[in-house]
Each structure stands twice: as C-alpha cells, then as structure tokens.
C-alpha cells in the first residue's frame, strides 16, 4: 500500500510554496501518492483511509488548512508544519513567493525531518546490532508485562541490567522491570567515555521523579560510547530499554570471567518471577 501525501495550497505565502516542493520531493523518494487538496475538498468520498498505509499532511503556515481538511475524512498519521520546522531548527526561510533562488537548499535541509524512522535507525546502527531482530518472552504479573529478550549472546544480572555481546564489545542497558519500577524516566546521567569499569561497578545512572537508579555494569571493560539520544529523550528507556533505550557500549576486558556471574534468559525469567511475586 502507498503512503498518501496531502499538502496545503499555500499560494500567498513562501512557506506554502516550500510545503508543495517538499511534498513533490517526498513522492519521488518513497512509494506515495500526492492528493490534490482542492480536489479532495470537493470530492472527499473518492479517498478512503483504508487504501493507504499512512497519511502524511504538510502545512506551510499555522492556518493548517490541509490538516483541517484531512482530519475529518482521512485521519492523519503524521503532520508537519513548515514554518514551525524552519523556526525550531533555525533554518533559512524562503525569500518570497516569486523567487526560486534558495528553495532547493531549503527543501534539502527539511527532508531529514521527514525521513522514515527505520532509515534513521539503520544509519545509527554502526556497531552491527540488528535492532529489529529482537524476540521477547513476556512475564505477566497483574496488568504488568515484563519483556525479556531471547537473543543469543544476551545475558542478565540480578541487578536487572543486561549485556548483549558482539565479538569483543558489549552493549548494556537496564531491563523492563527497572523502567516499569521507576515510571517515567526524566534524566540520563551519562557514563564517562574512556573510563575503565570493573564488573558490577556503576556506569551512569537514570532518574525519575521517584528515584535514581545506578546502572550496574554486567561486564568489565572500557566505556567506548553511550547512547547520546537518551540525554534529550530519556523516555526511550521506558519505551524499549533493550533497543532504542540501550545505555552504553564497552570494550570487553575478560568476558569469560564475567560470564560466570551472569544469567541467561530462562534464569532471569525465573528470578524476575520470584522478585515480582515477593514485591506484593
């Protein structure tokens, strides 16, 4: 199924002109259909939500004409406002309705904000972890569901942290139990790059309004990288602590020794089952 792109008509404003150019560029890059706003407003019954994988609406200015027209009939998957994007990211504004001089460069500078989420994720995946391949066991307790990944080469500690091994590098993070217990995570206190860590030392911390949780390293090694996105988006740890919410990557010192004190998925499942039952 294709994506539908609906953009405003914006004839009297430069941002309207940019909205149209962005829509045209997107339709070339992705499998999508541009819907003429005027035609849609005259004959809305020709278009049905079920025919499209997603509906993207692009408005030029805060009048949001395309949004208002699309909302009733089609529903909206994603909405963009050109004037807001230009302001928020301090980008160059178009000169005038007539002048085409800077339009192409403005469109190019806006395109990254429209890119698909999965393309962005693939570019960031420099160390080879395939974030899409995760399979989970689910531990249910009352209304709560705790995800526990079943990945080969993934191990856990009884401090509710995990490590995912890729050759001599470990990616580490906290488990679903931690993010559920903390509720909304508001701050990520980053570990120091280059710091040598012994297994079970602290490597950064995360903070909610309820508590501060020191992340206990499951492995010994040197911190080579941390998930910088978490500084602005600590809530990613709540959304998925194993994939987009990973904490840090470490160059391993001696994993064979560390392995003796780690547990696998099945063992962590049983451990967590007892823990949540005792917590009652």
Partner 1 sequence: MSNEKIYILPCSGIGKVYGLLSREVAYKVVLDLEPQYTDTICLASLLLEEIKEQVVGKSVICVDGCPKCCAEKSSLEAGMVVEKKYLTSHFVRKYRGEDPGSGSELTETGKKVVDDIAKAIQIEVQRILQERGEL
Partner 2 sequence: MEERPKIGVISCSGEKCTGGSVARMITRKMLDTWRPHDVVTICLPLFIAGGTEERSFAKDFPTITIDGCKKKCAYRITEKLSGKVNASVDLSTVLGDELCESTINQEPFSEELVIKTKKEVLQIFDRIRAEANFRELKQSGQYKGCGCVEEN
Task: Note whether 189 binds partner 1 by CB under 8 A.
Answer: no
> How buried is residue 219: exposed, middle or buried, by Cβ count under 10 Å (0-12/13-18/19+)?
buried
Q: What is the CA radius of gyration of the chain?
A: 24
Smallest distance from partner 1 to CB 207, Å? 8
- Looking at beta carbons only, is 24 or 186 nearer to partner 1? 186
Contact (Cβ atoms closer than 8 angstroms) between residue 55 and residue 70:
yes
- Binding-site size for partner 1 (CB under 8 A) equals 19
Near partner 2 in 258-277, by CB under 8 A: 277
Q: What are phi and psi of 7, to 5 degrees?
A: -125, 160
Q: Which stretch binds partner 1 (CB under 8 A): 70-78, 150-158, 242-250, 258-266?
A: 70-78
Contact (Cβ atoms closer than 8 angstroms) between residue 5 and residue 32:
yes
- Looking at beta carbons only, is 62 or 128 nearer to partner 1? 62
Q: Which does 254 bind (CB under 5 to 8 A by kind): partner 1, partner 2, none?
A: none
Q: Which does 105 bind (CB under 5 to 8 A by kind): partner 1, partner 2, none?
A: none
Exposure of 201 in the CB half-sphere (CA atoms within 13 A) = 14
Q: Which does 68 bind (CB under 5 to 8 A by kind): partner 2, partner 1, none?
A: partner 1
- Looking at beta carbons only, is 37 or 197 nearer to partner 1? 37
> How buried is residue 218: exposed, middle or buried, by Cβ count under 10 Å (0-12/13-18/19+)?
buried
CA 50 to chain centre: 26
Near partner 1 in 237-266, by CB under 8 A: 238-239
Near partner 1 in 198-227, by CB under 8 A: 207, 209
Q: Which stretch binds partner 1 (CB under 8 A): 85-93, 125-133, 174-182, 184-192?
A: 184-192
- Looking at beta carbons only, is 77 or 251 nearer to partner 1? 77
193-202: long-range contacts (C-beta < 8 A, 24 or more apart)? Answer: 193/223, 193/224, 193/225, 193/226, 194/222, 194/223, 194/224, 195/222, 195/223, 196/221, 196/222, 196/253, 197/221, 197/222, 197/223, 197/250, 199/258, 199/261, 200/157, 200/159, 200/261
Near partner 2 in 87-146, by CB under 8 A: 140, 142-145
Give the one residue of 68, 89, 120, 124 binding partner 1; rule: CB under 8 A. Answer: 68
Smallest distance from partner 2 to CB 153, Å? 28
Whole-number Å distance between alpha carbons of 135 and 44: 42
Q: Which does 72 bind (CB under 5 to 8 A by kind): partner 2, partner 1, none?
A: partner 1
Q: Which stretch binds partner 1 (CB under 8 A): 12-20, 73-81, 99-107, 174-182?
A: 73-81
- Looking at beta carbons only, is 56 or 106 nearer to partner 1? 56
Residue in the block written with tokens 């988006």: 233
């Amino acid at each position: 199924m294709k994506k539908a792109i609906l953009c405003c008509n914006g004839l009297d404003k430069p941002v309207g002109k940019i909205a149209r150019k962005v829509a045209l560029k997107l339709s070339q890059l992705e499998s999508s259909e541009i819907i003429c706003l005027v035609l849609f407003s005259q004959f809305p019954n020709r278009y049905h939500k079920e025919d499209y994988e997603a509906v993207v609406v692009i408005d030029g200015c805060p009048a949001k004409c395309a949004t208002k027209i699309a909302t009733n009939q089609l529903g909206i998957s994603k909405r963009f406002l050109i004037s807001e994007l230009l302001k928020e990211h301090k980008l160059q504004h178009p000169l005038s309705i007539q002048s085409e001089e800077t339009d192409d460069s403005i469109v190019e500078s806006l395109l990254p904000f429209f890119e698909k989420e999965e393309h962005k994720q693939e570019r960031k995946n420099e160390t080879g972890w395939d974030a899409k391949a995760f399979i989970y066991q689910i531990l249910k307790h009352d209304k709560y569901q705790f995800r526990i990944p079943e990945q080969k080469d993934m191990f856990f500690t009884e401090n509710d942290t995990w490590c995912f091994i890729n050759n001599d590098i470990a990616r580490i993070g906290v488990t679903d139990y931690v993010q559920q217990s903390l509720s909304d995570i508001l701050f990520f206190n980053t570990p120091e790059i280059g710091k040598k860590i012994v297994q079970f030392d602290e490597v950064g911390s995360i903070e909610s309004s309820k508590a501060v949780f020191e992340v206990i390293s499951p492995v010994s090694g040197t911190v080579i990288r941390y998930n910088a996105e978490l500084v602005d988006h600590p809530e990613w740890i709540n959304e998925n602590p194993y994939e987009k919410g990973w904490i840090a990557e470490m160059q391993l010192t001696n994993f064979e020794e560390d392995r003796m004190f780690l547990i696998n998925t099945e063992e962590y499942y049983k451990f967590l089952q007892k823990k949540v039952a005792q917590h009652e």
